[in-house]
Structure 1
Amino acid sequence: MTENHVSGMEASAISVLKRAVELDQAGRLQEALVCYQEGIQLLMDVLKAVKEDSKRGHYRDKIKGYMDRAEQIKAQVNQMKEDGKYHEQIRIAEDATGYSYEALFKPYVSGLLTEVWVEDPYVRHIHQLYNFLRFCEMLLKSSCKVKKIHLLTTQDEADGGQQNGALAEIKDSLGAQGVTLDLQYSSTIHDREIRFNNGWIIKIGRGLDYFKRPKGRFSVGYCDYDLRPCHETSVDIFHSKHTKTL
């Protein structure tokens, strides 16, 4: 392995661990834990590639320090989950970027996740239907094994045909991937909430529809949601040992 490759891995590790420390200081513990784990793995890869004893000792000390902190956070998060007191809030600023569904939900999507409930009154218009599809794609690409997605939304009285057709197509497409979409409509739903059967509950002020419209079909952020500016909103994350069913 070349020296340049090792220094590149080290730079990646430093970047991820710097983000972990920032999230840790901000009290965003579950996100920090995921970043610490990723950064530690990157540092361990660097350690394997380094030959000099002095450098190896340096990396071992760094890894131990980060592992100790990660274990402390893990214990703290587990205790808060056990006590039913886990709550953190993420504030997404106006025009902020870097908040794709992959980025936002990654810390809470684990291998234990098999069933998801989405309550969102606004999965009606074309861009909102695409948002829901992108959310489903995020789940399919992740490490979890989701088998069932429940969607509770309101019916589009102005253009119900478009909404029904799009959701039927999404249902068929998910079915081909081995995932069942359970679709229900409600005329009284107001709250926006996403529940995972691994215990995580995510409440986004604007639901899945927190992205701004792109300036054009060929503007940056049209395809990559990490580059798409957001509306100002807040995201509240809770954990419950008892995940409700609809």
Structure 2
Amino acid sequence: MNIESAAVNILKRGVELDTKKRYTEALVCYQEGLQVLVDKMRDENDDAKKSYLRKKVEEYMNRAETIKRLVLKQKEEGKFHEQVQIENNSTGHGYKTLFGRFLDEEVQYVVVEDPYIRSFHQCQNFLRLCEILVKSCENLRIIKLKTSKDGKSEANQNAWFINLTDDLEKYGIKLLVEYSETLHDRQIILSSGWIIKIGRGLDFYKAPNNKFCLGVYDLDLRQCHETTVDIVHSKNVKQSCG
């Protein structure tokens, strides 16, 4: 019963996201919930219960397939747009939670455009993103960062990027850093075509209350500033990243 309740909660979350047209997030919930229901159904001995579970599996599977077709159609037409509103002081918005579902074997090249990867905590945010990319994108070969120079501690900024470059090379990934004083865009471009635009860039987390509290390392537990995340897809990205 606990397993079934867990599946129901995941699927309810899927329906909620589905209603808000956050289709790729809804799809993740449907797939997770369906897996739990299918496992439960296989272990069920009561025929009536098994029949009920089978009906629910078919119902959610059909909706998941409909969403897949819808997302594919919108991608093909260049009309895909998903938006996440991050409220002030809210939690649960680590980078992997926000857009980890788009980080897969298709990603070979990532461009990060953010004028504020300069101070220590901002560069640490970029480091956290790089860690997720390394773990999630097995065919990743290049990360390109476009940012601005830190006039106050340019030497430190350069040193941090040199250290990160050396480490990424161990994983067969090349880090390219390009400086621009006119950059305003804040977005993460994946060679698979997905573009994640975060209103405040990577630096939308509030400083932790102290160095020994929840959220210091796990960004899902860190309070956030209010910002908007827009996710779109462009077939032209593959050509520009090639």
TM-score interval (norm. to shorter): over 0.9
Give the alignment partner of residue 184 of structure 1, picking from 178, 181, 201. 178
Shift of 1:50: 1.8
User: Which residue does the alignment assign to 1:205?
Assistant: 199
Mapped to 2, the partners of 1:53 and 1:139 lie a distance apart of: 45
Does residue 245 (structure 1) correspond to residue 241 (structure 2)? The answer is: yes
Residue identity matched to 2:91: T
Shift of 1:27: 0.8
Answer whether contact 2:106 2:137 (CA < 8 A) is retained: no
User: Which residue does the alignment assign to 1:81?
Assistant: 75
Answer whether contact 1:109 1:144 (CA < 8 A) is retained: no
User: Which residue does the alignment assign to 1:234?
Assistant: 228
Residue identity matched to 1:245: C
Determine helix, strand or coil for the equivalent of 2:146: strand
Does residue 215 (structure 1) correspond to residue 190 (structure 2)? The answer is: no
Shift of 1:39: 1.4
Determine helix, strand or coil for the equivalent of 1:216: coil
Answer whether contact 2:108 2:137 (CA < 8 A) is retained: no
Could you tell which deviates more after superposition, 190-199 or 101-110?
A: 101-110
In the alignment of these two chains, the number of paired residues is 240
Determine helix, strand or coil for the equivalent of 1:116: strand
Unaligned runs of 5+ in 2: none
Mapped to 1, the partners of 2:83 and 2:58 lie a distance apart of: 29
Residue identity matched to 1:203: K
Answer whether contact 2:114 2:147 (CA < 8 A) is retained: yes
Mapped to 1, the partners of 2:234 and 2:170 lie a distance apart of: 31
Shift of 1:8: 3.7
Determine helix, strand or coil for the equivalent of 2:90: coil
Shift of 1:114: 1.7
Answer whether contact 2:11 2:33 (CA < 8 A) is retained: yes
Q: CA RMSD in A?
A: 1.4
Could you tell which deviates more after superposition, 195-204 or 179-188?
A: 179-188
1:94-113 equivalences under 5 Å are 94-113=88-107
Answer whether contact 1:205 1:234 (CA < 8 A) is retained: yes
Residue identity matched to 2:21: G
Residue identity matched to 2:111: W
Shift of 1:100: 0.3
Give the alignment partner of residue 50 of structure 2, picking from 24, 43, 56. 56
Give the alignment partner of residue 122 of structure 2, picking from 113, 120, 128. 128
Change over 3 Å in CA distance of 1:39–1:111 after alignment to 2: farther
Answer whether contact 1:212 1:229 (CA < 8 A) is retained: yes
User: Which residue does the alignment assign to 1:92?
Assistant: 86
What's the TM-score, normalizing by structure 2?
A: 0.95
Residue identity matched to 1:66: Y
Shift of 1:161: 0.9
Does residue 169 (structure 1) correspond to residue 163 (structure 2)? The answer is: yes
User: Which residue does the alignment assign to 1:25?
Assistant: 19
Mapped to 1, the partners of 2:13 and 2:137 lie a distance apart of: 22
User: Which residue does the alignment assign to 1:13?
Assistant: 7
> After the TM superposition, which segments of 4 or more aligned residues of structure 1 sit over 4 Å from their partners?
none
Shift of 1:222: 1.0
